[in-house]
Structure 1
Amino acid sequence: MKDYKKYYIIPAPPEDVYKALTNPATLQLWTGEPAVMSEIPGSEFSLWEDSIVGLNIEFDPGKKIVQQWYFGGDEEELSIVTIKLHPHAQGTSVELRHTNIPDEAYDDIVEGWNDVYFASLLEFYGDE
């Protein structure tokens, strides 16, 4: 199991980034796919036609999202994604921490975070 941590700068206020990550209609706008998402702890979510599925754990509106991501196996340790949003001079500093990523999935997950998830979000907000 491996952990991944990275910061991204999104050119939008934290409240807008939070909405983009939690509102199903807004998620669909930047992912291009229908999304299943709720801000209710204990609810399941699905993005990119079930490419990303998991359980919502905690929400602090405009500030933090905590989710468990499923990898389809019997993982002994939960894979937890924590996204913290901090005000930044250029919009929002997004602090991503993804723990307990299965070794065989690590490279694909890191590539997904950088080249798909946050690349799509940056494109949505007009950062070339």
Structure 2
Amino acid sequence: MKSIKRYYTLKAAPADVYNALTNPRMLEIWTGEEVVMSTEAGTEFSLWNGSITGLNVEFEENRKIVQQWFFGDQGNDSIVTIKLHPDKKGTSVELIHTNIPDEAYENISDGWDEDYFGALRELFI
């Protein structure tokens, strides 16, 4: 199992980034896919038309999102923590993704940079 810790800067206020990460309509706009999302802890979510599924664990409005991502077999779930910090350029995003299966690491790593935060950067240009 592997982990990722990365930082991204987005040209938007933390409230706007939080909205883009938690509001189903906003998620559908920047992902281009069907999503299921709620900001209630204990609810299941689905991104990219079911390519990513999991459980919403914790929310701190405009500050933090914690999710459990499912990887098939029980017990192989990973934890994603996204922290939003105000920055003079907008928002500094701290991403921590733990317990990534070795065989999924490269795909997940590229996905964070290109599909997830790459698409968010384009949204906030």
TM range (shorter): over 0.9
1:1-128 paired onto structure 2 within 5 Å: 1-76=1-76, 78-126=77-125
Shift of 1:34: 1.9
Provide the rounded CA distance (Å) in 1 between the counterparts of 2:71 and 2:117: 20
CA distance in 1, matches of 2:95, 2:83: 7
Deviation of 1:75 (Å): 2.8
Q: Structure 1: which 4+ aligned runs deviate by more than 4 Å? A: none
How much does 1:33 deviate?
1.2
| RMSD over equivalenced CA pairs, Å | 0.8
CA distance in 2, matches of 1:5, 1:75: 21
User: CA offset at residue 35 of structure 1?
Assistant: 1.1
Q: Secondary structure at the match of 1:20?
A: helix
Q: CA deviation at 1:30?
A: 0.6
Q: TM-score, normalised by structure 1?
A: 0.95
Q: In structure 2, what residue type is equivalent to 1:48?
A: W
Q: Tell me how far 1:21 sits from its aligned partner.
A: 0.2
The one-letter code matched in structure 1 to 2:19 is K
What is the distance in 2 between the residues matched to 1:17 and 1:34? 19
What SS does the corresponding residue of 1:18 show, helix, strand or coil? helix
AA at the equivalent of 2:42: G
SS at match of 1:71: coil
SS of equivalent to 2:53: strand
Residue 89 of structure 1, CA deviation: 0.6
Q: TM-score, normalised by structure 2?
A: 0.97
Q: Give identity over the alignment, percent.
A: 60
Deviations 1:12-31 (A, max 9, x none): 00000000000000111111
Residue 97 of structure 1: SS of its match in structure 2?
A: strand
User: Deviation per CA, 1:54-75, whole angstroms, max 9, x where unpaired?
Assistant: 0000000000000000011233
Deviations 1:32-88 (A, max 9, x none): 112100001010000111111100000000000000000112335x41000000000
* Equivalent AA in structure 2 for residue 115 of structure 1: E
Instruction: Structure 1 unaligned segments of length 5 or more: list them.
Output: none
